[in-house]
Structure formats: C-alpha cells, structure tokens
C-alpha cells in the first residue's frame, strides 16, 4: 500500500521532485505484486493509473482508493497484518503523528475507511487501542521483534504502560515470543524518535543489516557506535550471534534550511522477487546495494533515487506497507 502525496501539505514545495520517485516505487511494486494506492482525488487516481500502465505496470495489479490523508507515510498509518489460525487479520493501531508532532486524524482513519468500503474484502480488520507505528518495529517472522526504547518508550506514545506490560502486549497482539530492545541508535533529522527501520533490519538466515557510521564528527556518531555494539550482543532464538552486515555511511545530505537529513540505507523495502534500496546520488549507493545483495542473494537489488523523499525525513520503507499472501485488494465502494 502507498498513500500518494496531495496537492496541499508538506510535499507541496517538492511535488515536482518527489512525484517521479513515487511513480518509480509504484511501478516496481506493481510489476511484481498487487498495489493499493490511496489517492487524494479521482482525477489523480485516473491520471496515475494511465501513467503506470503506460510505463509497464499490469493494469490488473493496480487498485486505487480515494481517501483523505494528512501525509504519505503508509508504514506508520497502515495496518499491520498477522495470521490468526492461518487467516490474515489486519491490526489497526492508533497513529498520533509520531508522538503528537503533526496532524494525524485523517491518516489514523484510513485503515478503517478502507475496510468499511470493502477494500480488504473478507479479511478481518481489528482496531487496537495502542499507539504503534509500523516503522518502529521489525519482525523476523519467527517470533522475534526488534525495536528501540527511545521510540516505544517515548512518553507521547503509551505513557501509561510500563515497559514489561508494553512488551507483553506487543507479543500477544503480534504473535511474538520475545522483544529485543535497542537502547541506542539515532539519526540527525529523524522526527520519529528513533524508528528501527532507519537503523537495523532483519534479513534471512539470522542476519541483521544496519546503518553504520564512519563520520566521527557526526552528532549521533556515539549513538550509532553504541548501537553497533548492542547488535553484536544480541542473540537469535537459537542463542547464536546474529550475522551483522554494516551498510555504508552516505555523505551528509542537507535540507534547504541547512538541517542535516536522516539519509539511511537501512530503509530498504523487500517485495516479491526484489529489494528496493534507497539511493542518494552518493558514492556509497553502489556499496549499499552490494551489501544488501549479500543479504538477499535470491532477489534482484533495485536502487531507487530517494534524495527527494529524505527531504521529509523518511525513505522507501517508510512510504509503504506490505501485506502477506491471502489479503486481497478490491476496488472500494463509493465513500
């Protein structure tokens, strides 16, 4: 699922730059699997359908829904899917704009609106009274969650829940057996309080790819080095050290006002048959792709220019939310 930029909002000054990135992302996904796109208007949906089909996207792989939105970060306002007795169940967690930093009422309503309009067909959609963003957790699909304490324990998320209760709730809701907490890890310019999907990601065969840092003068250098040490101390469910794959450090990227941007190669997106890797017009882009090819030897590695996206402090994984086999997207009823 992608949520397309609207003509009003934070993307307005960057629409000409960011639209081709969204189109490329949508095209690569739709070539390989069904894509649901939340659009701000019927006109935009029709234009986008024509553009993607002309570029080679199979028309049968495209589903569009016209819904109101605040922003485009589907990873955080989209549902998280679990399997309940083999059947998919979509969990609609509460999204409060990354700890009440930004307006989020429209984004928070998207999942239930799609469900009410039949987009998810017969899949069960369940509202959960817990604030949780998809980018704040990583799952290995085998019972282990990886997260950061600075985000999930942020007082603007779920202040009433002690850490142990929060961990128990996550395990119960998501079918996990344990939670691995990173106490360190940060990127300058990140406004999510430390989403793990910008820092460290599970890969096959008990491997973790993580954003390394080779710039001693960087403001979060010590945090990233401390995270690296923490990762060496983590153990898999089989009590073995994880295979760690450091991703190279890109050169400094800045916003027009001079702020350092949180460019990260850890924000890659795994889709059917491929891994989409952020590229920042940087000498490290090729090395990042090579490192991720090590992690996913059976998948195509496709670099997607993400310099425009990082201007709003996120990247490819942040923009998208995946669904497992068994979830069908249907054309929505009128809303």
Domain boundaries, the chain: 2-319
Q: What is the pLDDT of residues 60-92, one digit of tens each?
A: 999 999 999 999 999 999 999 999 998 999 999
Tell me the pLDDT tens digit for each residue of 156-195: 999 999 999 999 999 999 999 999 999 999 999 999 999 9
Q: Does the domain formed by 2-319 have CATH 3.20.20.450?
A: no
- Region of residue 206 (phi > 0: left; psi between -120 and 50: alpha; otherwise: beta): left
* 3 state DSSP class of 29: helix
pTM of the predicted model over 0.95? yes
Question: How confident is the model over 218-248, as pLDDT tens digits?
Answer: 999 999 999 999 999 999 999 999 999 999 9
- pLDDT score at 10: 86
Cα–Cα distance, 102 to 156 (Å, whole number)? 12
Say what the pLDDT of residue 335 is.
59
Q: Which pair of structure tokens corresponds to residue 239?
A: 């009590």
Q: From edge to edge, which strands make up the β-sheet containing 200-203? A: 200-203, 207-211, 243-247
Dihedral of alpha carbons 39, 45, 51, 57, sign: positive
**Angstrom distance (rounded) from CA 144 to CA 177:** 6
List pLDDT tens digits, range 20-68.
999 999 999 999 999 999 999 999 999 999 999 999 999 999 999 999 9
């Amino acid at each position: 699922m992608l949520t397309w930029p609207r003509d009003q909002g934070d993307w307005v000054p960057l629409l000409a730059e960011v639209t081709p990135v969204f189109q490329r992302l949508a095209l690569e996904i739709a070539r390989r699997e069904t894509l649901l796109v939340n659009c701000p208007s019927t006109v935009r949906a029709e234009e986008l359908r024509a553009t993607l089909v002309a570029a080679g996207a199979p028309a049968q792989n495209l589903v569009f829904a016209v819904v109101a939105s605040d922003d485009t970060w589907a990873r955080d306002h989209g549902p998280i899917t679990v399997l309940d007795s083999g059947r998919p169940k979509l969990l609609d967690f509460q999204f409060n704009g990354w700890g009440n930093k930004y307006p989020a009422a429209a984004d928070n309503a998207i999942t239930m609106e799609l469900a009410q309009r039949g987009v998810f067909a017969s899949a069960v959609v369940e509202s959960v009274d817990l604030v949780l963003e998809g980018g704040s957790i990583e799952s290995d699909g085998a019972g282990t969650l990886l997260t950061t304490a600075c985000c999930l324990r942020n007082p603007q998320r779920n202040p009433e829940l002690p850490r142990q209760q929060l961990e128990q709730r996550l395990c119960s809701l998501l079918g996990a057996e344990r939670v691995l907490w990173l106490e360190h890890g940060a990127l300058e310019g990140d406004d999510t309080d430390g989403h793990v999907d910008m820092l460290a990601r599970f890969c096959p065969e008990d491997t973790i790819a993580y954003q390394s840092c080779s710039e001693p003068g960087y403001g979060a250098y010590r945090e990233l080095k401390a995270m690296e040490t923490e990762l060496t101390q983590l153990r898999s469910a089989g009590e073995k050290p994880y295979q760690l794959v450091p991703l190279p450090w890109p050169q400094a990227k800045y916003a027009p006002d001079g702020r350092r941007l949180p460019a990260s190669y850890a924000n890659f997106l795994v889709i059917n048959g491929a891994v989409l890797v952020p590229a920042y017009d940087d000498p490290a882009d090729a090395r990042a792709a090579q490192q991720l090819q090590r992690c996913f030897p059976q998948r195509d590695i496709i670099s997607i220019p993400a310099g425009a996206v990082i201007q709003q402090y996120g990247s490819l994984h942040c923009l998208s939310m995946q669904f497992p086999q068994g979830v069908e997207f249907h054309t929505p009823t009128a809303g």
